[in-house]
Structure formats: C-alpha cells, structure tokens
C-alpha cells in the first residue's frame, strides 16, 4: 500500500474531475426521474382507463429488472432500434427510466395515503378532480413523500457508478484507470473513492432524517 504515490496532484485532479461528472450525471437524472416519476405516479393514482394499466405494466417491468441491464440496453440496444444517444445520454435515459419507475411508486403510495374523505370533500364542495388533486391531495401527499424520495436520490447517486460499464468518465471509471497503473495504489484509491461517495450520501441521509423529523 502506497498512499504517497496514490494521492498525487495528477491522480487527485483526475478523480475529482470524475466526481464532478458523477454529480452532474446524478443531478440531471434526479431532475428527469423526479418529473417522469411524478407524472407516472399521478396517472397511476388517478386510474385513467387504458393509460394507467399500461403504465402499471411498464413500471412493474422496469422495477423488476436490474439497472445494469437497462444501461446496456440503452447504450447498445436502442441504436439497433434506430434511437441513438451519446453514451452520456444513454446513461441518463437508463437512470431516468429506472429511477422514475421507483419514484412513481413513492408518489402513488404517498397519494394513496391521503385520506379518501378529503378527495370526496373536495369534489363535493365543487372543485374539479384536477383542482382537488392540485390543491388538496398533492400538498398533503408530497410532504409524506419527501423522506423516501431522498433515500431514492441517494440510491440514484450510488447507482451512477454502474455506468462504468459503458465507459463514461465518472468517478468509478477514472478510479479504474488510476488503479490500473500500479497495484500498490489500489487500496488507497478505493478508500478515497469510498470517502467521496460516503461524504455526499451521508450528508444527504442526515438531511433526509432531519426532514423526516420535521414532517
């Protein structure tokens, strides 16, 4: 184990560059999967004929597949079907679809946990269905969704490491390159990478717990 030749300025800046891309990847995927997950969750909650059952089948299938498989499919399968992305966007698409399926479950069960009586009260006091959802059910449900949602975002951040399989210059990929240079620095690099992931995820989970207490 050689910490001195592991933590050279060159290696460190290369790893931090990778960490930057990991965060950027996670940030974009969080935004997109949150939006898609909300839409999927609300439509499934609202039980729209034909549309909701189809989305349910879609969500159930995606939820029951490994993310790794979706990443490979987005990278190598979709181009065969005439849909081409750069590797970076293939990763975003796979992460978004996978996490959105899980987020839609959080949204759906959050909405379901809102007392049905409130929905009926809103409707019978003259609000439309959409108004009832927007002003009564969503604000109450959203608050309950915050803690599981943050946990899901932590999962997503960890899951970005899987895109190493399609070679995008994120943290895990850059770590692999550095580690390949010298067996003596493998352990120190793994420790540093763990520290980086841990720092950001632990901060998020502490934040989530605070929110949980307040909500």
Partner 1 sequence: MIDLSVLTDNWSSYLEGFRNTIIASLLALIGSFILGVIVAVFRIAPSKVLNTLGAVYVEFFRNIPLLLVVYLFFLGLPALGLTLNGFISGTLGLMIYTSSYIAEAIRAGIRSVPSGQTEAARSSGLTYNQTMRYVVLPQAIKIVIPPISNQFLNLVKNSSILGVVAGLDLMYFGDIVNADTYDAVSSYVFVALFYLLLTFPLSFASRSLERRLAHSG
Residue 209 has a CB neighbour count (10 Å cut-off) of 12
| Assigned token pair, 115 | 């007392």
Identify which range of 30-38, 41-49, 57-65, 129-137 contacts partner 1 by CB under 8 A: 57-65
Torsion of Cα atoms, 210 then 213 then 214 then 215, to 10°: 120
Out of 202, 207, 209, 210, the only residue in the binding site for partner 1 (CB under 8 A) is 202
Q: Please, where are the H alpha helices in the chain?
A: 3-6, 9-46, 51-63, 67-72, 78-80, 87-112, 116-124, 129-132, 138-159, 171-179, 186-214
Question: Among residues 142, 195, 152, which one has the least CA distance to residue 19?
Answer: 195
Q: Please, what is the minimum distance in Å from the beta carbon of residue 88 to partner 1?
A: 18
Does the protein bind partner 1 through residue 80 (CB under 8 A)?
yes
Out of 31, 181, 198, 210, the only residue in the binding site for partner 1 (CB under 8 A) is 198
Does the protein bind partner 1 through residue 205 (CB under 8 A)?
yes
Identify which range of 12-20, 46-54, 60-68, 125-133 contacts partner 1 by CB under 8 A: 60-68
Identify the three-state secondary structure at position 55.
helix
Out of 73, 85, 88, 89, the only residue in the binding site for partner 1 (CB under 8 A) is 73
Burial zone of 85 (CB within 10 Å; 0-12 exposed, 13-18 middle, 19+ buried): middle
Identify which range of 36-44, 56-64, 89-97, 137-145 contacts partner 1 by CB under 8 A: 56-64
**Contact by Cβ (8 Å): 143, 207:** no
Q: Please, what is the minimum distance in Å from the beta carbon of residue 158 to partner 1?
A: 4
Site of tokens 């909300």: 38
Per-residue binding letters, 142-181, with partner 1 (x by CB under 8 A): ------------x---xxxxx-xx------x------x--
Binding footprint of partner 1 on the chain (CB under 8 A)? 1, 60-61, 63-69, 72-73, 76-77, 79-81, 154, 158-162, 164-165, 172, 179, 183-184, 186-187, 190, 193-194, 197-198, 201-202, 205
């Amino acid at each position: 184990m050689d910490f001195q030749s592991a933590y050279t300025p060159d290696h460190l800046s290369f790893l931090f560059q990778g960490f930057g891309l990991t965060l950027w990847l996670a940030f974009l995927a969080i935004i997109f999967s949150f939006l898609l997950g909300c839409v999927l969750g609300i439509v499934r909650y609202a039980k729209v004929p034909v549309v909701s059952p189809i989305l349910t089948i879609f969500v159930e299938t995606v939820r029951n597949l490994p993310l790794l498989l979706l990443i490979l499919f987005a990278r190598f399968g979709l181009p065969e079907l005439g849909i081409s992305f750069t590797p970076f966007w293939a990763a975003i698409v796979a992460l978004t679809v996978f996490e959105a399926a899980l987020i839609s479950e959080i949204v759906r069960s959050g909405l379901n946990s809102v007392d049905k009586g409130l929905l009926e009260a809103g409707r019978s006091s003259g609000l439309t269905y959409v108004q009832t959802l927007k002003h009564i059910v969503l604000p109450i449900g959203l608050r309950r969704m915050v803690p599981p949602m943050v946990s899901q975002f932590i999962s997503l951040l960890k899951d970005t490491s899987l895109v190493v399989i399609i070679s995008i210059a994120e943290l895990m990929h850059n770590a692999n390159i550095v580690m390949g240079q010298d067996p003596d620095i493998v352990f120190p690099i793994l420790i540093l990478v763990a520290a980086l992931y841990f720092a950001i995820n632990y901060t998020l989970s502490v934040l989530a717990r605070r929110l949980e207490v307040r909500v």
